[in-house]
Amino acid sequence: MKKAVCIMSGGMDSTLCAVLAKKQGYDIVALHFDYNQRTMSREKRAFKEICDKIGVVKKVELDVSFISDIGANALTDLSMDIRKDGVADDVPNTYVPFRNGIFISIAAALAEKEGAEALFIGVVEEDSSGYPDCSDEFIKSINDAINKGTKDSTNIKIHMPLVHLSKADIVKSSLQNNSPLELTWSCYENEDEACGLCDSCRLRLNGFELAGAKDPIRYKNLNSKIKL
């Protein structure tokens, strides 16, 4: 059976990628990273519940807390405030320097070890916070580097099925493919109820609104319409 490593944060995008990978007939190795992010325990819970729900047997959880030692981002540095005034054109301080590059490199090592031919990641370029390591160009470039730096018998293809979709498209596809949206977690700030104000919450809520659907998770701030 063909095998794929799926990088899964517990969020809506990576969950849909895993669902799509299973529908394409891949045996999934689910890979989750802990890096001392603010919502680490909530993301880990989401990851485990999602894997159970969609029938993923092999789960790999890795401690990459050195990312928080590097710092320079509001997800791991509690002295920095997370932006809550809307999505802007600049790269926000929730960007973790080269996080996807680190994640993909580790995932590639796991894929080579497992004999996996595919690696799935839920990057979104078109409708996102503008993180530079979420671009189509970057993923294709690192894919080339992976296949140059692994054994001749290793040939890994990185799949990024959401990269050019809008959040509304992702919501619609999640509903069409029975992705367990109710188990996913996107908030950067809280672990009990999603804040509704950070970039990730705003993008998610906007996607549901444009898709004409109701988000099944709970939010602290939904008294008025939150705009991007």
Question: Taking a C-beta distance cutoff of 8 angstroms, is the pair 176, 62 a contact?
Answer: no
What is the pLDDT, as a whole number, of residue 223?
Answer: 56
The whole-angstrom separation of Cα 50 and Cα 43 is 10
**Mean pLDDT of each 10-residue bin along the chain, 228 residues long:** 97 98 98 98 98 98 98 97 88 96 98 98 91 96 98 97 97 98 97 95 94 96 63
Can you give the pLDDT at residue 227?
63
Q: What is the pTM of this model?
A: 0.96
| 8 Å CB contact between 40 and 34 | yes
- Boundaries of every domain in the chain: 3-211
How many Å is the Cα radius of gyration of the chain? Answer: 17
Query: According to the annotation, is 6 in a ligand binding site?
Result: no
Say if residue 129 carries a ligand binding annotation: no
12 is in an annotated binding site: yes
Q: Looking at the structure, give the CATH architecture of the domain made up of residues 3-211.
A: 3-Layer(aba) Sandwich (3.40)
pLDDT value at position 207? 95
pLDDT at site 222: 78
Consult the annotation and say whether 9 binds a ligand: yes
Whether 196 has a binding-site annotation, put simply, is no
Q: Is 134 annotated as a binding-site member?
A: no
Q: Is 32 left (phi over 0), alpha (psi -120 to 50) or beta?
A: beta
